[in-house]
Amino acid sequence: MKRLISAALTICLMLALFVTPGCKTSIGQRKNDQSSTLYVGYVGSSFPTSFMPWLSRDGIAPTVASMVYNTLFSYDDESGDFEPLIAKNWCYVSLDGEPLTTDGTYEGKTDYAAVEEYYSDLSDDYMAVRIELYDNVYWSDGERLTVEDVYYSFDVATDNTLSNHAGALAWTADLCHESNKGKLIRQGMFTAKHPDLSGTYPIREGEEDTVMYLHVNKIFGSVTTLFNTILIIPEHIWKPIVSESQQLNNKNPQGEFLDQYRNPVGSGAWILNTNETNTQMIVLDRNPDYHLKASDGSPLYKVDKIKILLYLDSNTAIFALRKGYIDILDSAVSSNYVSLMEKEDNIYISRSSGSAVSCLVLNVEPSSPFDNGIKLLFKDKSFRRAIALAVDQQELVDKILDGSGKTVSAGLILSDNKLLYEEKSDLLSFPLEKRLKIANELMDGLYPQKDADGYRLYNGKRISFELLTGAGAQDTVSYLQRQLSKIGIELVFKASGSSPETTYLYRSDFDITTQAVILSMANADVMYRAHFVTTERSSNYGKYSDEVLTKKIEEMRHTLNRDLKIKLIKELQILTAEAYYKIPLYCSDVLSAARTDRFSGYVSMPGATAFNNETLKNLKMVGVS
């Protein structure tokens, strides 16, 4: 229901805006600020106390870490290319170090036919990759960033005894380099200081700090997580203090460790202002020495300072935006609020297409001691199919999202992905009436008996499942309860709490849960395995296992023919659709809002709020030429 905030609530919100415990500066300061400072609202329970880049993926921490630190490249989903960040170019090379590119230079585009022809005929289990860094990248303490920092970052990531970070092991899974307890077991990275003893890879005079080579598995996607997931950290800061007893991902940092956690030294476009940052506000200053510039030579990002302010709930944050206490809100906004703000002056509404598919996940193969009782019904694919047929995606889009979203193929790749989408995987889009008829026929063949309320019985008891999800999804649960009741299945809401993966999902202690799934060319090699193959502490919450699907995923991962890879991803969509294991609900648009009375130039980017890199590159103060 669309409604205005009550007068009583308004008073409380105003108090929250002006009297914020622990904040050194009034949150109302924007109204009198004439500087190029962007005020950003963030909704959450708290801010992190440190920004060690690999420490946390919760809340605002990954966003801030990615602004303070950099990866080697970023990935452009539309072009399928890696865009320069720390590194300016890369290419596959032969085992003699010769570039496999369309123009025969190290700077050229990948010649996929040449890569396939060369490496398909070799018995070696790896491919060689050359990376060249910019020569003018500096850490925020003034030290120059070199390939030795990259070597150290990747080396620690492969060594869990030093990193204490399971995610880092996944990021480097396809890097043919092994270290344990700080000792090199297999060398898969080569720099001037860590040479290939055979002298195969050429590092010419003057390239000692900028050129390195990697050995990666024969998988095109092997470079993806290395290039655009691992934030590069400074060797001169961490190598002297990281050890087996004092790991990089330190749960109890003390002394110098704690100091480095709180005062991050990065190479990104922003520097954490530790003097102004506190529990209620994160302050980032633009790095004046950042190596990437706009085409005219001016700073790449157009504001001098960013102040991120913490709000404990959406109502307060939206009120702050409407009343001019912040410029932009880095949180998705409900369509109810969007319709309200669209009528106001000086408000920009960003509507960007979403990239995540919201799914129901069925616990198909629960582990002991939860592998009993009603969960066992999910082993039957016909039963799973009946549930999938009963889900009315269009109603969820219309009612839950107010139309700000789209339905999704059962193959879980969006139809607007022109490169990968396979129409044959769209098994659930025919008329609802016919779907319900088929679903009930399936159920009648399995569990024909019903109780007085029309719910089906299994061993004399009502078939009732708990849906484990967040409290904010209760509207979705309500609609799903009504939809599944049409085939005689009862659904009951169960709150997931703050850490559902550890508490419930990895342990198999659930019936059904919700999950966001993103599958793309950039992550297919990693995420297909994570969602449908790996059964221990992965995104495969229901521990689904299918020999045919697993074989097809491995074939897709290891082909060196890019066209064949795309064909196999299309075939995988059909297989995953026919599994009826991860059932799509919808893909919601990302709705966000910003004010236009101080800045113009906001950019809507797919899958992001209005607070994104392109916005920061294009912002312009109103009234300033």
Question: What is the C-alpha separation between 208 and 191, in angstroms, rounded?
Answer: 7
**Which percentage of the chain shows pLDDT scores above 90?**
67
Average pLDDT over residues 158-164: 92
Residue 92 lies in a domain: yes
The CA-based angle 328-332-336, given to 5 degrees, is: 105
Question: What is the C-alpha separation between 516 and 585, in angstroms, rounded?
Answer: 10
Full residue range of the structural domain in which residue 25 is found? 7-46+279-349+591-621
Cβ burial of 120 (10 Å; 0-12, 13-18, 19+) is exposed
- Domain check: are 234 and 361 in the same one? no
Confidence of residue 562 (pLDDT cuts 50, 70, 90): confident
Residue 602 lies in a domain: yes
- Domain check: are 447 and 571 in the same one? yes
- Domain check: are 377 and 317 in the same one? no
pLDDT tens digit sequence for 361-397: 999 999 999 998 899 999 999 999 999 999 999 999 9
Identify the pLDDT of residue 124: 86
Give me the helices (H) in 175-334, please: 224-228, 235-238, 255-262, 314-322
Check which CATH number belongs to the domain holding 218 and give it. 3.90.76.10
User: How far is CA 530 from each of CA 174, 408, 541, rounded to the nearest angstrom?
Assistant: 14, 20, 9
- Domain check: are 306 and 225 in the same one? no
pLDDT tens digit sequence for 497-540: 878 888 999 999 999 999 999 998 888 988 999 999 999 888 99
Check which CATH number belongs to the domain holding 419 and give it. 3.10.105.10
Residue 256 lies in a domain: no
Pair 458, 490: CB distance under 8 Å = no
Instruction: Count structural domains, the chain.
Output: 3
Residue 482 lies in a domain: yes
266 CB neighbour count, 10 Å cutoff: 26
254 CB neighbour count, 10 Å cutoff: 9
- Domain check: are 192 and 161 in the same one? yes
* pTM of the shown model: 0.83
- Domain check: are 572 and 597 in the same one? no
Nearest of 406, 411, 443 to residue 427 by alpha carbon: 411
Average pLDDT over residues 208-215: 96
Q: Please say if the pLDDT value at position 550 is more than 50.
A: yes
Q: Please say if the pLDDT value at position 625 is more than 70.
A: no
- Domain check: are 341 and 438 in the same one? no
* Domain final position from 205, 238, 271: 238
Question: What is the C-alpha separation between 144 and 121, in angstroms, rounded?
Answer: 40
Nearest of 271, 298, 305, 275 to residue 35 by alpha carbon: 305
pLDDT tens digit sequence for 228-258: 999 999 999 999 999 999 999 887 888 999 9
- Domain check: are 319 and 400 in the same one? no
pLDDT tens digit sequence for 414-446: 998 989 999 999 999 999 999 999 999 999 999
